[in-house]
Structure 1
């Protein structure tokens, strides 16, 4: 997904534009003639004629090893570091035309985002028209909040784009996502495509990995949003302090113009107090109950929460007296927070409150279906698929689905080769909030599935024993059989929650991708055991 009409630019003029990131004088074997480029990519397999191939060091191999392949596909220059240049000197003879000019910069990982911004013409600070950019970070709620943002913007008559975990969309065209946030050259090419198509706005999930690895370098969001911060990704960041510091880097003048921050947890309050951009704060009633009353009054507060179908209606009360009436049709009290964040982010972008209220009243935008996020598959029993894959998300999900007179039957596992410390914590959360907990496999990757299950089950069993819980803990695998067992044990008044994988359609086991979609398996199991289902298969494909 690239712009159809790229604007050629001289590579060395573009390098001069990014200043110190290019080094004092980019060097290599490049000639003195102009090198005209029309694109840039990190993937040698996706090179198009006219591209710069950015050869970066990887975990196992250096991108310079793939430079000949990039050249054969039409790369007009190779951007790399000293190590990459050394690899090319060893493998390419002087005068060999197989590899195009090589340009060496000190840190190509940090240079490639700003360089992509220049190559694709995303010069937001030059006053050039382009989509209003919304970026959302936080541990949980990013995907749903971006879908809510776009649904509200479309209710206002705006055309939208989306870059996120589930899909990348530029208007009506959509492709599945491989990463929560793509690499920076793809981000900038997508933004250029959205500008070329005249889209009004774009929403993007901004993961901590994206911030850590420079995937949004060179992007400046009009409004940045923060959901929450809970234990996750400590295998990358090490500590919660380091995790917070990475998230907080989005809320600086280099990356955003303004911000909306949920202050339902202490991390949000801290971020709102220390951000270097103008901030609007939002607090839900849950946040007030959680001991946040001593914090400064929020700019917007959720009040008057009432049940509305499977979801809730509520009021956003402004500190200056303004009120917005909002409804969210998706289950889960945490979706109140997601809807509130999306609403105030659109308000912060300059949309008048009166226009927002008309759109909210006329279109019910927060009843949009979000694939794999509290996605309802059946009603009797209530059968739900959700992406909850860390302790806080699981707590929020399980606490929100219990129905009067019914049991909660949960199915989940833990991902392999990720933060091991959260496995027993998740097991304990499941035991506390479920009547029946079925421990199964998630994506084990290269780990032993039994070892992962054992850690999750240990946390559940300890909680049952030490806290006197009545939860029945089972261990069933593979995952499809666990889902079937949950349905077999359910009655019409019960709630089944399949957590952890959400929209994902492949399960990685020792390097092999196995076809597995929780929504398909749950739908099939419900039908097999004589229950009805709500939606036909389709959204997951």
Structure 2
């Protein structure tokens, strides 16, 4: 328990009314989790507003309410109401105080950027593990806290959930945590009060412009990690123009990685094979041959980013190389589906124009035959990237299949029309285009079209095991559907 008066002081509340603040047993932002003598923080989300559930939290025993405006109904006398300018900011402050600032005892490595965050966290975990330091991992796929693994809800959890996880790690004496930091999380104060040992910037390309409006606003959200959160070490991709802009902004130590000159971490003797990447890793600590089970040029950058974390932690280059080699793969990232079929089948999470270009090019490097690309675009998300993804796929692929992704509240046919605009206006496109709204049937079509030596690339959903249609979340896993389609065509091969 924490004393409410002390906790409310930390928030700089605009006003406090009602009962004198008492002890607070717990904090929640979902009224269903409210407990006796607990605090409920009303935050406004995309679909629901926590202010509409204040009375529900009170009925469940909450005696402290933090909100941006007064509730319509009068609160009972036993309840303390604190009004704040920003509920999410207040939640982060309360959570850090309630759990005794656990990141003072942890080394949190924040990874941000449009693409590559998940793969870098997996690599960092493997590299630090090779050096004898177990590392937790929180991100898009799952929240791995060593002793337990929790299915991921969002890429970066809410501040309260994060601080609770960090407290769990502190109690288990875990030293490290690799954390994916999304642009939404930075704007919404989810990582406020987290002490970052280092922050990694992977790249910045178009995504989330439904939320950030333009690339400058999107970039400004990323800057927050390096400027407001003040990591001890900033690790930057100097081959990315936004990485170079960050170099002029960051304070303290900076490590640069890339394939160009004047960097701290780079690679030489690079060979991109069908099932691996072979190269020489060059670092301030020396050089070492490396073989990674990952594939594709984009993963060379992810490897350099993670290797830079190892360097920042004082690891030897041989240990770093060992950790890189130990990682078998990342769920839904260039993940191969092998049922003995005479073609290569790959599932990848690529859902931006740049990511899609990278994985198609990576697939192209694996074969001299056809690349068949299947993809869609999410509903209620950045509409401007749809024609760009259509143009990318039709330029780089031999055959394109356009289908549904997570249509959410939009009509999937309308989303597909937006994608087709980019294909129809692409003078470089000579690719046959198939349209199949039903993703399951679309995957079957891709498998039927594949010949010996071809590559079937199923892009957009990666590790996800669901599809969101309207407000309904139904089970759907590209990997399962791809396996089933292959078995249907070839039998139990």
Deviation of the 1:255 alpha carbon: 4.2
C-alpha root-mean-square deviation of aligned residues, in Å? 2.1
Partner of 1:496: 456
Aligned mate of 1:426, from 355, 370, 389: 389
Q: For residues 413-452 of structure 1, what are the structure 2 equivalents within 5 Å?
A: 413-452=376-415
Q: Is the 8 A contact 2:273 2:295 kept in 1?
A: no
Q: Take 1:345 and 1:200, find their aligned partners in 2: how far apart are those partners?
A: 14
Aligned mate of 1:301, from 237, 258, 266: 266
Q: Take 2:375 and 2:199, find their aligned partners in 1: how far apart are those partners?
A: 32
CA-to-aligned-CA distance 1:139-185 (integer Å, 9 cap, x gap): 00011111111122222222222211111121131121111111111
Deviation of the 1:57 alpha carbon: 3.6
Partner of 1:374: 334
Q: For residues 477-488 of structure 1, what are the structure 2 equivalents within 5 Å?
A: 477-488=437-448
Aligned mate of 1:45, from 32, 35, 44: 32
Deviation of the 1:352 alpha carbon: 2.7
Over 3 Å counting, the alpha-carbon distance change for 1:280 and 1:45 in structure 2 is same
Q: Is the 8 A contact 1:181 1:207 kept in 2?
A: yes
Q: Is the 8 A contact 2:292 2:324 kept in 1?
A: no
Over 3 Å counting, the alpha-carbon distance change for 1:529 and 1:441 in structure 2 is same
Deviation of the 1:316 alpha carbon: 2.6
Over 3 Å counting, the alpha-carbon distance change for 1:106 and 1:361 in structure 2 is closer
2:12 is equivalent to residue 22 of structure 1: yes
2:423 is equivalent to residue 460 of structure 1: yes
Over 3 Å counting, the alpha-carbon distance change for 1:124 and 1:449 in structure 2 is closer
CA-to-aligned-CA distance 1:450-505 (integer Å, 9 cap, x gap): 11111212212332xx22x4311111220011100101111231111000111112
Aligned mate of 2:431, from 471, 477, 480: 471
Deviation of the 1:73 alpha carbon: 3.6
CA-to-aligned-CA distance 1:241-262 (integer Å, 9 cap, x gap): 1111110110026342211111
Q: Take 1:428 and 1:263, find their aligned partners in 2: how far apart are those partners?
A: 27
Aligned mate of 1:393, from 331, 334, 355: 355
Aligned with 1:361: secondary structure? helix
Deviation of the 1:92 alpha carbon: 2.9
Q: Take 1:521 and 1:161, find their aligned partners in 2: how far apart are those partners?
A: 31
Aligned residues: 490
Q: Take 1:161 and 1:324, find their aligned partners in 2: how far apart are those partners?
A: 26
**Which stretch of the first structure deviates more once superposed, 275-284 or 50-59?**
50-59
TM-score (ref. length: structure 1): 0.86
Over 3 Å counting, the alpha-carbon distance change for 1:243 and 1:413 in structure 2 is same
Aligned with 2:383: secondary structure? coil
Over 3 Å counting, the alpha-carbon distance change for 1:423 and 1:171 in structure 2 is same
Q: Which runs of 5+ in 2 are unaligned?
A: none
Aligned with 1:274: secondary structure? coil
Aligned mate of 1:114, from 65, 72, 93: 93
CA-to-aligned-CA distance 1:261-304 (integer Å, 9 cap, x gap): 112211111112221232101013xxx4xxxx6xxx11222222
Partner of 2:120: 145
Q: Take 2:197 and 2:328, find their aligned partners in 1: how far apart are those partners?
A: 24
Q: Is the 8 A contact 2:24 2:37 kept in 1?
A: yes
Aligned with 2:463: secondary structure? coil
Over 3 Å counting, the alpha-carbon distance change for 1:152 and 1:362 in structure 2 is closer
Aligned mate of 1:92, from 51, 74, 78: 74
Q: Is the 8 A contact 1:253 1:277 kept in 2?
A: no
Aligned mate of 2:345, from 379, 383, 393: 383
Q: Is the 8 A contact 1:54 1:112 kept in 2?
A: yes
Deviation of the 1:60 alpha carbon: 5.9
Aligned with 1:236: secondary structure? helix
Over 3 Å counting, the alpha-carbon distance change for 1:306 and 1:270 in structure 2 is same
2:485 is equivalent to residue 522 of structure 1: no
Deviation of the 1:12 alpha carbon: 1.8
Aligned mate of 1:360, from 316, 321, 324: 321
Q: Take 1:421 and 1:75, find their aligned partners in 2: how far apart are those partners?
A: 43
Q: Is the 8 A contact 1:413 1:442 kept in 2?
A: yes
Partner of 2:470: 510
Deviation of the 1:434 alpha carbon: 0.9
Q: Is the 8 A contact 1:383 1:495 kept in 2?
A: yes
Deviation of the 1:102 alpha carbon: 1.9
**Which stretch of the first structure deviates more once superposed, 244-253 or 66-75?**
66-75
Over 3 Å counting, the alpha-carbon distance change for 1:429 and 1:38 in structure 2 is same
Aligned mate of 2:196, from 206, 210, 221: 221
Aligned with 2:243: secondary structure? helix
Over 3 Å counting, the alpha-carbon distance change for 1:216 and 1:444 in structure 2 is same
CA-to-aligned-CA distance 1:302-342 (integer Å, 9 cap, x gap): 22212355120222323x57224333211211111111111
Over 3 Å counting, the alpha-carbon distance change for 1:74 and 1:308 in structure 2 is farther
